[in-house]
Amino acid sequence: ESPELCFKYVILGGGVSAGYAAREFARQGIKRGELAIVSREAVAPYERPALSKAYLLPKSPSRLPDFHVCVGSGGQRFRREWYTENGVSLFLNTEISRADLASKTLTPANGRAFKYENLIIATGSSVIKLSDFGIEEANVKNIFYLREISDADKLIEAIKAKRKGKAVIVGGGYIGLEVGAAMRINNFDVTMVYPEKWCMPRLFTPEIAAFYESYYTNKGVKIVKGTTVVGFNPNSSNGEVKEVRLKDGKVLQADIVVVGVGARPLTSLFKGQVEEEKGGIKTDTFFQTSIPDVYAVGDVATFPLKMCNNEMRRVEHVDHARKSAEQAVKAIKASEDGELIEGFDYLPYFYSRVFDLSWKFYGDNVGETLIFGDKNPNSKEPKFGSYWIHNGKVKGVFLEGGTAEENEAIAKVARLQPEAGDLEQLAGKGLSFALKI
Ligand code: FDA
Ligand code: NAD
């Protein structure tokens, strides 16, 4: 028996892109024993977005196997058995601690090393911790982060133990807004804290943010803006968090703290071995890295975004994880046949769902913005949106509360980038502009 496990293709990471890459390999045709997925997680690839939404609900929460890939984009669900049936070797609970691209070897802390001919790096991101900002948190219990299902399970245990307690949410980005809503639905007394003037500043305009902030306030969520956390006071008897100290001197009571202050692509295994750019692993339009036979997909890839003059971009969203994985596998298979596939022409797409709300964004959020529609948070069914206009063209569109048809229309606008014309008129036309494109 060889000391190493040898595979033609190895996917490192068992998240969203790994699952969609496996599906594409199966579609293109692979022999039994050619493909391995190596994952630190204990379960087969799943749709990560569920963790901050339906997974946390108090009533009929979503549980595996419900949200294994590839169900998130309307496909067949791949339970653990799918991999066995399709001859894919799925190594779970296996964390790679060393990667040597020169000898094409991945070594776990324990157990046999993996040898590959082609590697797809799909390690995703890890959470940024408050301790990264020098905040002491290690010895305080009930401070949670959310990335993997094991993190979500710990949070759920605490939700059950601290029923109707007080939750402080640190961060006003995706995790903050989604988990803040989930904690409120779980009947917690919720306070959100973030340093910026408005929530989700990397996408939301002040007008968009104002709607969500009022909506949250109406739901009973308290929002503390323009300050950050500086420390925690634990309960001296059990070490559980009791108070959250803020920079502005305020002190908030807390039974549970959930932190969402950003993510960082997991590239550390490959430092110095592969070219990087903008914090990620640099790839071409086929997600091939600077090392032949090594591809990088999902959150870790910095790739040329064709619709933005091939500007190098990294995207930390699920739609991109799925599509970049498919592109890489198609490119690998085509190159084996001496063929070339089309370059990746991605239309950025982000979304979120909180309470009864649901928004989508397509395109590029550059340039001037204008808002349209009913953005009254007290309306029964608010529906509003925003256009981003750059060099006279509509480059990005946001829509809250859209129907399937309307969402398709805004995607089309972001793709075609029509002339915006007079901005006041455009604001007046609102969604009807998109529906006529
Ligand atoms: P992903 O994180 O999915 O997978 C990485 C895998 O690699 C993990 O299984 C990890 O354990 C494994 N791994 C890492 N290092 C390893 C090592 N050394 N050895 C072995 N395994 C290793 N996006 C969106 O568009 N809409 C949404 O609603 C949401 N919601 C959402 C909720 C939550 C809670 C999170 C954390 C994220 C989202 N996202 C999202 C973002 C989206 O989930 C994310 O962009 C994709 O999961 C990225 O897919 P990847 O495959 O790149 O990484
Ligand atoms: P994020 O980048 O969306 O938000 C980070 C937020 O942290 C900032 O908006 C800011 O408010 C806050 N912040 C930064 N420094 C801080 C500090 N010192 N103290 C307090 N707050 C601070 O990151 P996230 O919300 O943590 O999400 C993590 C990852 O998960 C991202 O890749 C994100 O794209 C992904 N995600 C996506 C979705 C979605 O697309 N719907 C949902 C959940 C998670």
DSSP per-residue codes, 249-312: S-EEE-SEEEE---EEE--GGGTTTS-EETTEEE--TT-B-SSTTEEE-GGGEEEEEGGGTTEE
Q: What is the model's pLDDT at position 216?
A: 98
Measured on CA atoms in the order 56, 133, 216, 244, is the torsion positive or negative? positive
**For residues 19 and 37, what is the distance between their CA atoms, to the nearest angstrom?**
9
Cα 376 to Cα 15, 73, 382, 384: the distances in Å are: 38, 31, 6, 9
For the whole model, what pTM was predicted? 0.98
What ipTM does the predicted assembly reach? 0.98
Distance of CA 217 to the CA centre of its chain: 25
Atom 41 (ligand 2) nearest CA: 352
Could you say which ligand is closest to the alpha carbon of residue 319? Answer: 1
H/E run at residue 373: strand 368-374
Please name which ligand lies nearest the alpha carbon of 146.
1
Exposure string of 291-307, with b = 16+ CB inside 10 Å and e = fewer, is bebbbbbbbbbbbbbeb
Q: Whose CA is nearest to atom 18 of ligand 1?
A: 96
Confidence at residue 231, expressed as pLDDT on a 0 to 100 scale: 97
CA distance 113 to 106: 6
Is the bond leading into 61 cis (omega within 30 degrees of zero)?
no
Per-residue burial over 232-260, b if 16 or more Cβ lie within 10 Å, else e, is: bebeeeeebbbebebeeeeebebbbbbbb
Give residue 144's pLDDT.
98
Does the CA dihedral 7-8-10-11 come out positive or negative?
Answer: negative
Handedness of CA 304, 305, 310, 312 (dihedral sign): negative
Task: Give the angle 347-194-247 at the CA atoms, nearest 5°.
Answer: 150
CA distance 354 to 358: 6
Residue nearest to atom 23 of ligand 1 (CA): 317
The alpha carbon of 261 and the centre of ligand 2 are apart by a number of angstroms equal to 5
Structure tokens at 76: 């067949």
How many angstroms does the Cα of residue 433 sit away from the middle of ligand 1? 35
324 backbone dihedrals φ, ψ, rounded to 5°: -65, -35
Tokens of 36: 């391995």
The 8-class DSSP code of residue 342 comes to P
Task: Calculate helix-pair angle for 318-336, 16-28, nearest 10 degrees.
Answer: 30
CA-to-CA distance for 426 and 191, rounded, in angstroms?
Answer: 37
Question: By C-alpha distance, which of 390, 388, 392 is closest to 420?
Answer: 392
Name all residues whose Cβ lies below 6 A of ligand 2. Answer: 52, 125, 133, 170-176, 178, 194-196, 228-229, 260-263, 316-317, 350, 352
Task: Report pLDDT for 90.
Answer: 98
**CA pair distance 115, 119, nearest whole angstrom:** 9
Distance separating alpha carbons of residues 364 and 348, to the nearest angstrom:
7
Q: Are 176 and 199 in contact (CB under 8 A)?
A: yes
Rounded-to-integer distance, Cα 360 and Cα 336, Å: 37
Which numbered ligand comes closest to the C-alpha of 263? 2
Amino acid, res. 170 = V
Q: How far is the CA of 356 from the centre of ligand 2 (A)?
A: 21
Closest residue by Cα to atom 29, ligand 2, is: 263
Q: Kindly identify the ligand whose nearest atom is closest to the C-alpha of 48.
A: 1
Pocket of ligand 1 (CB under 6 A): 13-18, 38-41, 48-49, 51-52, 95-96, 122-125, 146-148, 266, 269, 298-299, 316-319, 321, 350-352
Q: What is the pLDDT along the chain (437 residues), one digit of tens a residue?
A: 678 999 999 999 999 999 999 999 999 999 999 999 999 999 999 999 999 999 999 999 999 999 999 999 999 999 999 999 999 999 999 999 999 999 999 999 989 999 999 999 999 999 999 999 999 999 999 999 999 999 999 999 999 999 999 999 999 999 999 999 999 999 999 999 999 999 999 999 999 999 999 999 999 999 999 999 999 999 999 999 999 999 999 999 999 999 999 999 999 999 999 999 999 999 999 999 999 999 999 999 999 999 999 999 999 999 999 999 999 999 999 999 999 999 999 999 999 999 999 999 999 999 999 999 999 999 999 999 999 999 999 999 999 999 999 999 999 999 999 999 999 999 999 999 999 99
Identify the pLDDT of residue 385.
98
Give the whole-angstrom CA distance, residue 247 versus residue 256: 19
Handedness of CA 315, 316, 317, 319 (dihedral sign): positive
Distances (CA, A) of 338 to 117, 332, 366: 17, 10, 39
So what's the pLDDT on residue 1? 60
Give the C-alpha separation, 284 to 126, whole Å.
Answer: 23
Of 48, 261, 351, 360, best ligand 2 pocket probe by most atoms within 8 Å of the beta carbon: 261
- The residues facing 372 across adjacent strands are 385
